[in-house]
Amino acid sequence: MKNFTIGSMLIISYLLATATATAAVLGPWVQTLTKGNKKITKFHFYVHNLEGGPKANTTVYVVANASITSTSRASFGRLEVFDDRVTAGPDINSEQVARVQGTAANSDLHATAIALNTNFYITSGEFNRSTFGMTGRLPSTEPVREMPVVGGTGAFRLARGYAVSTVYSFDFATGNSVFEYTIYVITPSHEIVWTGA
């Protein structure tokens, strides 16, 4: 019985030691949690997808349509390229923290769903100039969209994770949208260095 108790205490203290987490708030839009050999970075920010309005502000362009795009109820075959401003707050004039750049293709014949191929390029703070990729199926008509995070550069080497987005606002007159994103990116907590020949 005594041995059992000591054994249990050792296991509990081991679990407590390995479960110790270090959290850091690096800004209103980014925080980290380091636990064991993993680091989780949580982003919360807003993406401004500007289709219309003053031409100088446009950040998304349609570069191609398919022969059936205009008659398809899912706009099948439409291909857009974008470079959207990402800000800490919902106002477009709040601090720019990143750009999100990539392509969006309407690629479902029946429902409005987009194949997204995008990179978040951080432009501010601790992770300035690091990137991570987000690619997958975006179901435009669903209120909450989930997308995979697949790889990154700089601080986000070997990243994986997921993004959740909702439409924060949409302007019918211009077609401009603001998307609210929460993204969890998991990376190794220590730099992995190649040793040996």
Ligand X SMILES: *[C@@H]1O[C@H](CO)[C@@H](O)[C@H](O)[C@H]1NC(C)=O
Give contact residues for ligand X (rule: CB under 6 A): 50, 53-54, 57, 62-65, 69-70, 92-93, 124-125, 128-129
Quote the CA–CA distance of 59 and 85 in Å, as a whole number: 8
Considering the complex, what minimum distance in angstroms separates the CB of residue 147 from ligand X? 24
Two structure tokens written together for 48: 């401004």
Least Å distance, CB 39 to ligand X, is: 20
Instruction: Please compute Rg for the chain using Cα positions.
Output: 21
Q: Which of 82, 13, 20 is nearest to 47 (CA)?
A: 82
Task: Report the residue number, 117 or 123, with the smaller CB distance to ligand X.
Answer: 123
Minimum distance from residue 7 beta carbon to ligand X (Å): 51
CB of 117 to ligand X, least distance (A): 18
171, 147 in Cβ contact below 8 A? no
Q: Is 50 or 185 the residue whose CB approaches ligand X more closely?
A: 50
Closer residue to ligand X (CB): 79 or 186: 79
CB-CB contact of 102 with 115 (8 Å)? no
Buried b (16+ CB within 10 A) or exposed e, 131-149: bbbbbbebeeeeeebebeb
Work out how close the CB of 124 gets to ligand X at its nearest, in angstroms, rounded to a whole number. Answer: 5
Count CA within 13 A, CB hemisphere, residue 164.
6
Which residue number, 62 or 111, has a Cβ lying nearer to ligand X? 62
CB of 79 or CB of 115, closer to ligand X: 79
* Closer to ligand X by Cβ: residue 101 or 148: 101
DSSP E strand stretches across 29-78: 30-35, 38-49, 60-64
The 10 Å Cβ neighbour count of residue 95 is: 16
CB of 168 to ligand X, least distance (A): 14
